[in-house]
Amino acid sequence: MERTILRRRALAACTATVAVGVLALAGLTGSASADPAPHLPTPTVAGAEQLSPGLLKAMRRDLGLTASEVRDRIGNESRAAAVAAGLRHSLGADFAGARVSGDDAALTVATTDAADTARIRRAGARPVVVEHSLAELDAAKAALDRVALRRAPEDIPAWYVDVATNRVVVEAARASAADAFLAAADVPHGVVTVNRSAEQPRTFTDLRGGDAYYMNGSGRCSIGFPVKRGSGQSGFVSAGHCGTPGVSTSGYNQQAQGSFQGSTFPGRDYSWVATNTNWTPRALVNGYGNGDVTVTGSTEALEGSSVCRSGSTTGWHCGTVQQRNTSVTYQEGTVSGVTRTNVCAEPGDSGGSFISGSQAQGVTSGGSGNCSQGGTTYFQPVNPALQAYGLTLVTSGTPTDPPTDPTDPPTDPGGSWAAGTTYAAGDVVTYGSGSYRCLQAHLAQPGWTPPNVPALWRQL
């Protein structure tokens, strides 16, 4: 594979071709209830002025940015995510996806109705009119997923919705393999682009990645993000291919740590490990001598946004989110719902943390290539893993997702903020002991608390 090196001059051209898919804030289904107000100030990303030196260094190296440009880009990407969420709600069935591009994270929003273009421009985004809605493309991909879950397709390494071209892209080693795959799923060629690909994705298991842990005293993977379940049980999420329920784990120091409580692979690629009381969860990602990165939430970054990965084999490496809701075929079977990136990884990085700014994105699943020549890496988004097991992400503020167990609800910190309330830009609320100003008109959803969604709220 040709070496992929992102530099500032090339970044705009590169990300202009990056496909994008479904957008969400904090992995929740709710969206803003009103059109985003134009000309809003760029929100301050929580801790942006105190970003990890290691993360800054990696983004400067891999994206060709200065330290100031890194901070500006992260802030612009956060604002774009909020604007896109509002437009997705207001455009309804016309919505055909959104993405950011360039060092300034310029937002492009696609629609199937030309009458929507004025609304998109008023929100500060560039409109594009396309043939197929995002729902139509997602339905075609879902049909392919159903076929793959019955039997992983041969010579089809990956497929995904590419909003930039308004097509479902199927990567195939042979054209005949793609034809057979589409026929089995009854997906018309009119919504599909077939790309020739020699990729052979693999999982990155059995070696250290991120903070190492050991399975049954032998194989090694890495911690994704510390979590809690209910009011007392601590643990972490990682890749599903790292272990099955009941498998015991020991930490990087070979001391007893815990055991797998849940694991899904293939199909998805997530797991969670419950740890004993000797292990204290921290809202941090290992910075490998360059300062740890603080985790403040799990708001999903838009396609085209910068994203960085931490792993003990290769340290910090950065790139961009290419496509969400991707399906990839490993030797063990097909995994759907992962996110495709151009961040490199190597064996030993499996299960490690993907983060954008201070927002947790997911855990390393697998990929192809390496960090000498460049490659493609897929991560399992963290929010579906939290929801699947009823977990809350450990952050520097309040957990981002409430437990799914109704017998153990989160503690109410008090204040005027309330889920289900429509807020306008400029509104001021209190949450706990802090006051916050609304940056973007939206309908508040459970979990979108002011400390956890810096795209929507600025602390006063």
The catalytically annotated residue of 94, 211, 269, 292 is 269
CA pseudo-torsion sign 120, 126, 127, 133? negative
Strand pairing partners for 420? Answer: none
Torsion of CA 125, 128, 131, 137, to 10 degrees: -40
Task: Identify whether 103 is a catalytic site residue.
Answer: no
Among candidate residues 358, 372, 368, the one with its CA nearest the CA of residue 451: 358
d(CA 377, CA 55): 18
d(CA 44, CA 307): 18
d(CA 419, CA 371): 43
The catalytically annotated residue of 89, 132, 241, 317 is 241
Number of separate helices (H) and strands (E) present in the chain:
7, 28
The catalytically annotated residue of 133, 259, 350, 358 is 350
Among candidate residues 253, 225, 228, 218, the one with its CA nearest the CA of residue 239: 225
DSSP 435: E
Side chain identity, residue 181: F
Among candidate residues 305, 293, 306, 320, the one with its CA nearest the CA of residue 374: 320
389: left (phi over 0), alpha (psi -120 to 50) or beta: alpha
Task: Identify whether 116 is a catalytic site residue.
Answer: no
d(CA 119, CA 87): 8
Task: Identify whether 372 is a catalytic site residue.
Answer: no
d(CA 363, CA 258): 19
Side chain identity, residue 265: F
Active site members: 241, 269, 350
